[in-house]
A and B are shown apart, each in its own frame.
Chain A
Amino acid sequence: MATTTLSPRAESYRRSWVLDWLTTVDHKKIGVLYILNSFLFFFAAGILALVLRSELAVPGLQFLDERTYNEAFTMHGTIMIFLFVVPVLAGFANYIVPLQIGAPDMAFPRINALSFWLLPLGGLLIFSGYLFGGAAAEGWTSYNPLSNKTYAPGVGTDLWIIGLSLVGTASILGAVNFIATIFKMRAPGMTLFRMPIFVWTVLVTATLILLATPVLTAGLIMLFIDRNYGGSFFEPAAGGNPILWQHIFWFFGHPEVYIVILPAMGVVSEILPVFSRKPLFGYKAFVFATIGIGLLSFSVWAHHMFTTGVVFLPFFTFMTALIAVPTGVKMFNWLATMWRGALVFTTPMLFAIGFISMFLIGGISGVVLASAPIDFHLQDTYFVVAHLHYVFFGGSVFGVFAATYFWFPKMTGRRLNERLGKIHFWLHFIGFNLAFFPMHSLGILGMPRRIADYSPNAGWTIYNLISTFGAFVIAISIVPFLINVVATLINGERVGDDPWEANTLEWATTSPPPPYNFDRLPPVRSERPVFDLRHRHVDEPGHAIVAETEAQP
């Protein structure tokens, strides 16, 4: 492609590369740091998940006692959510958003570096509970009074609170940065309705973070005051109310789940059009659906509290189920994008299709849970665990891998090996369904979540066994992925600046992009500026692409 001559970099000013990475304020390097850091935490939390699954494979306590089990699932849930999915998507956003809107960097590069560095700090604090007499063990929801000093005297819970506050602060700062960047740093011609969908989803996500996370911070502070300064926010004996914690937590917690799904939806909406060779069907509807989900997400929190008996059930049932409508719009937009397209099944495309087909299951189980009388049965059973993994793993994590395969050539100039990629995908896909589909049955049969052990007479053993097997298949699927990454970095196929024939501005610069990203920018006259460059007469059907495409290096 055009755009390339880099001015030679002033090597003499460069410090050692370690120092360079540690002190960088370049959004691309920070993005990569985010992604690497998140994957490390993913492996840690994933290994904890394998521990959980091993314990649950058959009845009886084999490896752990109850306490260790409780610590393990608490750490697993907390780390997966706060130190893997949220930051890894923020990492991709960091790398890609400025490129996609044609900006040289984020609006506040130094704050950007700060919000990254708070993450490993917070994560290590959360984990360090293990060194000081036991990690937090109250679940990622840390309900009161269980998390009061009386019932959770350990310092692990305090470390959990402090660590989470830091991570929360990091994502608030990041959100400020993203919104300011998107509003203030767009290239000429990049109007709001020409922004790539990924940018839109990041914008809405950042808004949700900005408005929801501070509420969690407030709650964490109250919890800390209760635990350490004799406060009584949640202390029934002193006139406080434990239910208050649930309101606060879920007021944050529900928007949080869209915080982790929306950017993944954005990724999928970038990938499907590229590999279907069609524009995203219903761009504006998609944008409005995203905004609609964002708005609705603040009015449904009490669907996590149906069984507390203190919330108005019909209202929350209705609002919750209503989210299916904008989400459905997106689903159908994706389908229509593939419909009558010219589909190529590269690894990123496979993961994107995996996303829509698996997220669908998670969405439907969500709607089942939204019905209050049914939730009375399923709440706090493995059905919820199945739901949350279908949306988190089948949704967000598939999205993360799709993004990894899709943007790896942009970040490194080399494409991940497709054969290994496909092995990874299929093992992942099969393992995932083996691990989590049986959990639906377990929940419907009445197996509560967060139990270290269950009775051999309950009839749950076979499902648990399959699930454990599936978890190990997922773990094995990570091996070809890791090999792929390492091998490609050392000796991968160099594929030039735009290997996928993609649509958006990040593909109009070199791979990897130079500092400050662009020497020149193509004109932006639609949401697909690079596509427009490649095809000047696209509206003629049957038009051959080859002739118009500029030669790939």
Chain B
Amino acid sequence: MSAETPAAGAPAGVRPLVAERREAGMPTPLVGMLLFIASEVMFFGGLFAAYFNSRATHQGPWGPPHPAPELEILPVALPITIILIASSFTMQFGVWAIRRGDTRKLKLWTAVTLLLGVVFLIGQLYDYSQLGFGISDGIFGTTFYTLTGFHGAHVFGGAVGLTILLARSLQGQFSARNHVAVEAISMYWHFVDVVWIALFTTLYFLR
């Protein structure tokens, strides 16, 4: 509680509020995105908890309802998984590009990522149409469609973000110094990817 001499010229004990508010550390929008992702982690945590709880208390074999075929990895699930993981890399290439100030590469990689995301979504919808069971077919169907469906919705949200990113980069709004939005969307995209890896492992392997 020691008192210092106030800045000269200012009224006693008060110093002018200079605009020297330092932007130290992470930019505020990124902090916001990280926090938002934390809440999303808890959201998916809730869904996963429901899945594991149901599985633990469920009697009898766990899987799609009887007449429906088993979940198969090869035709759709594995390819779209690879596509989504790849899109995380392409996204990151875009981020690195803009950090160097390479706007052309940013546009390219953003477009590729968006494309991969859309392919993933189409693949997932196609998979849904082939599975032969629905959300109301017992507890497995309910958890399966809820988890993958909400993940899909998040991919869709990410794709919307990528579209905006692409539009803005086509207008030349980003530079090596100013590209917070790119970083933020890429974080989100990586998050969505990680969720899918967890989902894929849970639904297709740990069964």
- Which residue numbers of A lie inside 8 Å of B, CB to CB? 2-3, 102, 107-108, 111, 172, 175-177, 179-180, 183-185, 187-188, 210-219, 221-222, 225-226, 229-233, 235, 238-241, 243-244, 247-248, 251, 508, 518-523, 525-526, 532-533, 536-539
B1 and A244: CB pair below 8 A? no
Measured between alpha carbons, how far is A157 from B179 in the docked complex, in Å? 44
Residues of B within 8 A of A172 (CB): 36, 39
Per-residue A-contact encoding for B129-160, CB less than 8 Å = 1, 0 else: 00000111011101100100010000000000
Residues of B within 8 A of A185 (CB): 21, 28
- Report the tally of A-B residue pairs with Cβ distances under 8 A: 156
Q: A239-B139, A523-B6 are in contact. Are A213 and B39 (CB under 8 A)?
A: yes
Measured between alpha carbons, how far is A7 from B26 in the docked complex, in Å? 32
Tell me how far the C-beta of A203 lies from the nearest C-beta in chain B, rounded to whole angstroms: 12
Residues of B within 8 A of A175 (CB): 35, 39
- Cβ of B58 within 8 Å of any chain A Cβ, yes or no, is yes
Residues of B within 8 A of A532 (CB): 1, 3, 13
Can you identify 6 A-B contacts, CB atoms within 8 angstroms? A210-B38, A222-B47, A520-B10, A522-B13, A523-B13, A523-B15
**Additional 9 contacts, C-beta under 8 A, given A187-B21, A215-B46, A247-B49:** A180-B28, A215-B49, A231-B135, A240-B142, A241-B53, A519-B17, A523-B4, A533-B14, A537-B3
Question: Which residue of A176, A179, A217, A537 has the most chain B CB atoms within 10 A of its CB atom?
Answer: A176
Q: A180-B32, A520-B14, A522-B15 are in contact. Are A222 and B50 (CB under 8 A)?
A: yes
- Cβ of B126 within 8 Å of any chain A Cβ, yes or no, is no
Tell me how far the C-beta of B157 lies from the nearest C-beta in chain A, rounded to whole angstroms: 13
CB-CB nearest in chain A for B26: A184
Main secondary structure of the interface of B (DSSP, over half): helix
CB-CB nearest in chain A for B12: A2
Per-residue A-contact encoding for B161-198, CB less than 8 Å = 1, 0 else: 00000000000000000000000000000000000000
A520 and B54: CB pair below 8 A? no
Instruction: Indicate which residue in A176, A521, A525 contacts B14 across the interface (CB closer than 8 Å).
Output: A521
Measured between alpha carbons, how far is A222 from B3 in the docked complex, in Å? 58
A211 and B39: CB pair below 8 A? yes
Residues of B within 8 A of A243 (CB): 57
Q: A107-B28, A214-B43, A231-B136 are in contact. Are A520 and B50 (CB under 8 A)?
A: no
Instruction: Indicate which residue in B15, B22, B54 contacts A244 across the interface (CB closer than 8 Å).
Output: B54
| 5 tightest A-B CB contacts, nearest first | A230-B136, A218-B46, A214-B43, A239-B139, A215-B46
- Cβ of B40 within 8 Å of any chain A Cβ, yes or no, is yes
Residues of A within 8 A of B140 (CB): 239
Measured between alpha carbons, how far is A180 from B16 in the docked complex, in Å? 25
Instruction: Indicate which residue in A179, A184, A238 contacts B138 across the interface (CB closer than 8 Å).
Output: A238
Tell me how far the C-beta of A280 lies from the nearest C-beta in chain B, rounded to whole angstroms: 14
Tell me how far the C-beta of B198 lies from the nearest C-beta in chain A, rounded to whole angstroms: 15
Residues of B within 8 A of A187 (CB): 17, 21
B43 and A218: CB pair below 8 A? yes
B43 and A217: CB pair below 8 A? yes
- Cβ of B69 within 8 Å of any chain A Cβ, yes or no, is no
- Cβ of B206 within 8 Å of any chain A Cβ, yes or no, is no
Measured between alpha carbons, how far is A210 from B37 in the docked complex, in Å? 10
Question: Which residue of A183, A218, A225, A226 has the most chain B CB atoms within 10 A of its CB atom?
Answer: A218
Instruction: Indicate which residue in A210, A222, A244, A247 contacts B42 across the interface (CB closer than 8 Å).
Output: A210
Tell me how far the C-beta of B9 lies from the nearest C-beta in chain A, rounded to whole angstroms: 11
Q: A2-B14, A184-B28, A521-B17 are in contact. Are A179 and B35 (CB under 8 A)?
A: yes
A215 and B1: CB pair below 8 A? no
- Cβ of B45 within 8 Å of any chain A Cβ, yes or no, is yes
Tell me how far the C-beta of A426 lies from the nearest C-beta in chain B, rounded to whole angstroms: 37
Measured between alpha carbons, how far is A184 from B13 in the docked complex, in Å? 25
B31 and A180: CB pair below 8 A? yes
Question: Which residue of B12, B39, B43, B150 has the most chain A CB atoms within 10 A of its CB atom?
Answer: B39
Tell me how far the C-beta of A286 lies from the nearest C-beta in chain B, rounded to whole angstroms: 18
B13 and A533: CB pair below 8 A? yes
Q: A231-B135, A239-B138 are in contact. Are A210 and B146 (CB under 8 A)?
A: no
B28 and A525: CB pair below 8 A? no
Tell me how far the C-beta of B119 lies from the nearest C-beta in chain A, rounded to whole angstroms: 27
Tell me how far the C-beta of B126 lies from the nearest C-beta in chain A, rounded to whole angstroms: 21
CB-CB nearest in chain B for A1: B14
CB-CB nearest in chain B for A211: B42
Measured between alpha carbons, how far is A519 from B15 in the docked complex, in Å? 10
Residues of B within 8 A of A217 (CB): 43, 46
B49 and A232: CB pair below 8 A? no
CB-CB nearest in chain A for B44: A218
Measured between alpha carbons, how far is A213 from B174 in the docked complex, in Å? 35
CB-CB nearest in chain A for B139: A239
Q: A233-B54, A520-B15, A525-B4 are in contact. Are A238 and B35 (CB under 8 A)?
A: no
Residues of B within 8 A of A184 (CB): 28, 31
B13 and A212: CB pair below 8 A? no
Instruction: Indicate which residue in B15, B22, B42, B53 contacts A215 across the interface (CB closer than 8 Å).
Output: B42
- Cβ of B11 within 8 Å of any chain A Cβ, yes or no, is yes
CB-CB nearest in chain A for B40: A214
Tell me how far the C-beta of B174 lies from the nearest C-beta in chain A, rounded to whole angstroms: 20
Measured between alpha carbons, how far is A184 from B35 in the docked complex, in Å? 13
Measured between alpha carbons, how far is A175 from B36 in the docked complex, in Å? 9
Measured between alpha carbons, how far is A184 from B39 in the docked complex, in Å? 19
Residues of B within 8 A of A241 (CB): 53-54, 57
Instruction: Indicate which residue in B2, B135, B150 contacts A221 across the interface (CB closer than 8 Å).
Output: B150
Residues of B within 8 A of A247 (CB): 49, 53
Residues of B within 8 A of A102 (CB): 17
Q: A238-B139, A244-B54 are in contact. Are A107 and B32 (CB under 8 A)?
A: yes
Measured between alpha carbons, how far is A225 from B134 in the docked complex, in Å? 12
A232 and B4: CB pair below 8 A? no
Residues of A within 8 A of B57 (CB): 241, 243-244
Tell me how far the C-beta of B23 lies from the nearest C-beta in chain A, rounded to whole angstroms: 8
Tell me how far the C-beta of A466 lies from the nearest C-beta in chain B, rounded to whole angstroms: 42
A221 and B42: CB pair below 8 A? no
Measured between alpha carbons, how far is A457 from B108 in the docked complex, in Å? 80
Measured between alpha carbons, how far is A108 from B12 in the docked complex, in Å? 33
